[in-house]
Chain A
Amino acid sequence: MGKPKHYRPPGKKKEGNAARYVTRSQAIKILQVSLSDFRKLCIHKGVFPREPKKKVKGNHHTYYHLKDVMYILHDPLLEKFREIRAYQKKIKKAKAKKNDELARLLLSRSPSYKLDMVIRDRYPTFVDALRDLDDPLTMVHLFAMLPAIDRLKIEPKRIHNCRRLCHEWQAYISRTHKLRKAFVAVKGIYYQAEVDGQNITWLAPHARQQVLTDDVDFNVMLTFLEFYEALLGFVNFQLYHSINVKYPPILDPRLEALAADLYALSRYFDANHKASIQVPQLAGSSRSEQEQESDLRLAQLQHQLPANEPGALMHLVQNAASEIEEDEATRDCKKLFQNKKIFLSREVPRESLLFVIPAFGGIVSWEGDGAPFAEADDSITHQIVDRPAQGHVYLSREYVQPQWVYDCVNARIILPTEPYMVGRDPPPHLSPFVDDEAEGYVPDYAKTIKQLQAAAKSDVQPLPGMGSDDLNNTQNLLAEGYISRTEAMEAAEKKQKMMLLEKQYHDELKMELQGVSTINKQSSAVDIESKEESLDVQQSAIDSEDLSTLMMSRKKRGLAKAIEMGKQRKKERVEKLKERKRKYRSSSEI
């Protein structure tokens, strides 16, 4: 037999991948912890397996970078884990000796660990934490829906904590009108909010029974959840402080008991603001409506509110600043459902709508105890129902299906309620996460929405000094212009062509002017030449592209090619879709 493949003479140091990467079992040996502890540490510290170029130990191992392992080694958390393990042994021993009292005593004093330093280490700035919030939010929202099962060690306490964190987050988003998109999919409802310039997307499951399958390792999930809970807690803390609200919010126990946490939270916000600010302007119109009802609650909440004046002044200043900070999108969102009073029927997804509607400035109530106003309220403008037929109908309000709310939110205008009436099949619910323009294919309903948006825009800002006819005309023009960008792009292309032609023509003219005195007969030649010139222009464009590709590294060139291929594929897909639609149309006509 010859040398083994990765032979290293004795006394020579390891090099390359052999030195840089260790397998999981080696890492455990280095760290001197059990496998489960190692897994936990990895998740908490954000150390994940890697794929080395050359797998020295074989293909079926999991590899970690040695630096990562050292990073764990130098963390105080490791020591803490060892301590906990030692302590667990003590408890076990006491139990084995039937010394129940000692066991209980030990159990009550068992050491625990905190993750705040780890979080601080992993996310040095708040923006970093926000950037990474997608996964935590989705996970926490998911666990808020899961059943508590002893077998999988999912404790009710944690589920409650998850619910609390979710509601706190939603209350903040809704309060500050940061929600941007909502998409009801089969999996659940996708939301996107914009906080501090970061787009945060998360998925909240539908309010249905979730099934826990065996192929999911809940130990891993719960460890991730542990970290995410801590992270979300700190993020909420920071966010609440940024709007001057005390963080662990104290909620009205009555509302909490009725599982109306979100509403209780919004009340809490109101109360906090009212106490600290003399001029309650923040919440706009919704405040005046809610004030009367919240007075009673306020009296109860008063005891926990600070009342010194200089602080209030500070608040005022800060609030003014934050008011200025609000960007245009937020203002838009705030105004969407302004002056709308919406009532939710029993069968609609309450949690989601209670979150979405206030986020866009609407006032909302529901059927049940603790609701702000009852169904019989005359000032209700819309009622959300999701049943085949509505029995008793108030004429003063419109009955719409829940999809209307989501579509309005995504389109940022109040859509006509007619297609969403009770008993009708609503128009398709389009994904706001798809960039139609980039995709190239615009569904029909998106086109109508675009038209409506254009109309709304021109309604709001009529151009001065124009007759109504003109206005209509411009509206039409605008609408046409907005129909789709693909067409616009085509137009642009045409324009470019025209420009090119024009240029060519000018060139020709110039040439002619130059040549007219000297050579008259060569006009045909000039013509050819100018054509060549125009060709030259194109050629030069291509050349410049080539040059840029030449300048790129090999890898980048590959990427560029990949992008181009992707574009090509997309275009083909669009063509296919169009074709399919045409076929479908023709077949349905027949």
Chain B
Amino acid sequence: MGKKAKTSRKGKKAWRANISTEDIHDFFEKSTKDAHSGGSLASAPTESLFFIDKSKDLSVKRKIEKKREKVLRVDSVLEKNPFVEAVPSSKQKSSKKKKEALKAKDVAVQDVPTNDCVPDSGMVPLWGNEGQHGGKARQVSNQSIIPAVEVEPPGCSYNPSFGSHQDSLAQAVAEEMQKVYKNELGPQPVPLTVMGEVIDEDDKYFVEADDGSDDEMNEENLSEEDPATEKRSSKTRRITRVELNKRARRKELQRKEAEAKKAKELAKDIDSLPDILQEIAKEDEERQKKHLRRVIAKQERLKACPPRLGKYKFQPAPPQVLLSEELTGSIRKLKGCATLARDRFKSLEKRGLIPPSAKSGRSFSLRYTIYLVQLTMTCGFAYGQEVERFCFQGSLTVQFLLLFKRKSWNVQSRNFSSSNGKDEAYLEQEAERKIGWLLKLIFAGTATFVAYQFFPYMDERRMKIVEIGGGQELLNMLGSAKDERTQKEALKALSALSKSDEAVKALQSAGAIAAIKSTPDTFQDAEIGTYKSNLLKRFQELRYDISS
């Protein structure tokens, strides 16, 4: 066979021969194959491809049960023994069963019908019969060290022994005094009125002008300083080599000096090493002591009051001690504490169960109190004794109001002259603001008068009032009084006092005569005149020189 003639490779035919048609052939081949095997798989629907084999199906439930039925060997071994109960592999809900068992037990023990066991109050034995139910206790970490019920010291007994009573009393008084001192030593309250004259409009301008000039001066001073600094900063100068050298030398010198100094100091320190050691030891000791003090103080504090739990500080209730004159030795006559609810509440606060609240003891309006005082004035006698007692205490101020309030409600704990210093101070201020001194003095005068109308035969008590300073106060009041009512009240009180000879004597020495004489006679009120003449007569009787 002869060789094929060589053809040109650049012809159309040659190009055609070079194109591969393999993929087309493949496709045809595949399609024919598919056609032979019964259609392509890709285009076939899923149902035709897969099917659910239902030949060997068990229901799922049955399957699970089958597994459950399987008994562990351990269990099976145990189960064969009729005396051993199989231990369940998992915890089962048996609260119902347990309850029933408990009930059954109760029935056995109690021997009462079942319906009686759960009585109408719906109670079941909470802790079982042995007093345990096997639960875990929740860790309560912040239990207070303060006991829930603090037993009062023996001095607070209704009939205490002398020593312990004095002790408790002293403690109570000390607490009161502490309050008083705190008030006194504390910062002065901002005055409600400022002393001095009112500045009128024109003056104001001057004041402002003055201020302005001052400011200007300051500014000038500042401006004087400023340019100098500016000049210095702006000025730049060439630094010569000589200067640089000088600087370097100087630096070196300084360094050397510093080194020498350091070495010297070190040597000195080394010499004084024992001293330093001692100092350190001392410091350590001091620190330790300080720490100890702090620990102790904290312990003490925790015993007395809770940690700071909220906005407000805990304030303890005053101790309940009987005064010496209140000791009767009889439970019948005992003046018991009427504010136990507050005591309990304070205990809750003290143990830190609730954060302390802001409310203080007095939320009672002052107006109401005054009304009450007036009421008592009019109906008089029931409170006469209190008035007398109060005068005895010698506090002729607004405390009178407090006393009335305290007595009529029996709310305040005990009548120390200031049962709650802060409150009283507050009330006093308020009284000052609301009714002013005038009204207060009128009350005081009336009180004395009322008391001495009811108790006309108590000379030594009258004397006591004068001694304490009541007389002086009344005289002051008389002197400073600007209206007639005040004068009248003061005179009334003085004439009540003047029934005792000693009191008159004391009043005379206090300069009563002059004060009384200086009281102007008025035509509107005849009573002032009568009181005045009465008093003067009294002085005359005792042969005091009126004319002086």
Contacts and interface: CB of A to CB of B under 8 A. Distances in A.
Interface of A: 43, 46, 48-51, 59-63, 71, 114, 116, 119-129, 132, 134-135, 138-139, 142, 145-146, 183-188, 190, 196, 201-203, 205-206, 208-218, 220-221, 224, 233-234, 237-238, 241, 244, 246-248, 276, 306, 308, 310-312, 314-315, 318, 347-349, 386-387, 401-403, 425-426, 428-431, 433-434, 441, 443-445, 554-555, 557-559, 561-562, 565, 577, 580-581, 584
A429 B111 contact: no
A201 B111 CA distance: 34
A403 B159 contact: yes
Contacts of B4: none
B338 A310 contact: no
Q: Tell me what chain B mostly uses at the interface: helix, strand, loop, or mixed.
A: loop
Nearest to A218: B341
B341 A212 contact: yes
B51 interface: no
B357 interface: yes
Top 8 nearest A-B pairs by Cβ distance?
Answer: A311-B111, A126-B131, A558-B295, A428-B161, A431-B154, A206-B336, A135-B148, A51-B307
Contacts of A584: 162
B154 A430 contact: yes
Given A71-B138, A185-B156, A443 B161 contact: yes
Contacts of B135: 120-121, 124
Given A188-B340, A201-B151, A248 B322 contact: no
Contacts of A425: 329
A479 to B, nearest CB: 21
B291 A558 contact: yes
A187 B340 CA distance: 7
B321 A186 contact: yes
A117 to B, nearest CB: 9
Contacts of B363: 214-215
25 contacts: A49-B309, A62-B310, A123-B127, A125-B137, A126-B132, A129-B127, A134-B148, A142-B344, A185-B157, A186-B158, A186-B321, A187-B320, A187-B337, A187-B343, A201-B147, A205-B336, A247-B121, A248-B121, A248-B123, A349-B331, A426-B329, A429-B159, A430-B154, A431-B153, A562-B295
A319 to B, nearest CB: 12
Contacts of B343: 187
Contact of B140 (A46, A202, A555): A46
Interface in B59-109: 106, 108-109
A138 B111 contact: no
Contact of A306 (B112, B127, B299, B359): B112
A51 B122 CA distance: 39
Interface stretch (B40-48, B195-203, B347-355): B347-355
Interface in B137-190: 137-138, 140, 142, 147-149, 151-154, 156-164, 166-167
Nearest to B107: A311
Contacts of A433: 151, 154
- A135, A196, A347, most chain B CB atoms within 10 A: A135
Contact of B295 (A211, A401, A441, A555): A555
Given A62-B309, A318-B109, A428-B160, 11 more contacts: A124-B134, A127-B131, A184-B159, A186-B152, A187-B152, A187-B343, A190-B149, A211-B339, A217-B357, A401-B331, A430-B161
A211 B138 contact: no
A326 to B, nearest CB: 18
A272 to B, nearest CB: 11
A50 B306 CA distance: 10
A138 B344 contact: yes
Interface in B103-133: 106, 108-113, 116, 119-127, 129, 131-133
B149 A202 contact: yes
Contacts of A185: 151-152, 156-158, 320
Contacts of A119: 126
A105 to B, nearest CB: 23
Nearest to B151: A433
A49 B309 CA distance: 7
Contacts of B167: 577
A116 B310 contact: no
A244 B138 CA distance: 31
A247 B360 CA distance: 43
Contacts of B15: none
B156 to A, nearest CB: 5
Contacts of A426: 159, 329
Interface string B289-305: 00110011001100000
Given A120-B126, A311-B111, A430-B161, A213 B337 contact: no
A61 B255 CA distance: 57
B138 A121 contact: yes
Given A206-B334, A310-B111, A184 B295 contact: no
Contacts of A187: 152, 156, 320, 336-337, 340, 343
A85 B108 CA distance: 42
Contacts of B162: 428, 581, 584
Contact of A247 (B119, B147, B164, B311): B119
Contacts of B164: 431, 443
Contacts of A347: 332
B340 A128 contact: no
Nearest to A349: B331
B308 interface: yes
A246 B138 contact: no
B149 A188 contact: no
Contacts of A558: 291-292, 295-296, 299
A401 B328 CA distance: 13
B133 A124 contact: yes
Nearest to A554: B291
B437 interface: no
A61 B308 CA distance: 10
B111 A224 contact: no
Contacts of A49: 309-310, 352, 354-355
B446 to A, nearest CB: 28
B296 A565 contact: yes
A429 B295 contact: no
B158 A561 contact: no
B338 A429 contact: no
Nearest to A556: B295
Contact of A401 (B296, B299, B330): B330
B422 interface: no
Contacts of A62: 309-311, 355
B111 A315 contact: yes
B157 A184 contact: yes
B361 interface: yes
B126 A238 contact: yes
- A248, A386, A431, most chain B CB atoms within 10 A: A431
Contact of A186 (B124, B309, B320, B345): B320
A60 B352 contact: no
Contacts of A116: 123-124, 126
Contacts of A244: 109-110
Contacts of B410: 211
Given A71-B138, A119-B126, A214-B359, A142 B340 contact: yes
Nearest to B311: A60
Contacts of A434: 153-154
Contact of B129 (A241, A276, A428, A562): A241
B136 interface: yes
Contact of B354 (A211, A220, A431, A580): A220
- B106, B138, B352, most chain A CB atoms within 10 A: B138
Contact of B337 (A188, A212, A561, A562): A188
B256 to A, nearest CB: 42
B342 interface: yes
B338 A431 contact: no
B253 interface: no
B158 A221 contact: no
A125 B131 contact: yes
Contacts of A562: 295-296, 299-300
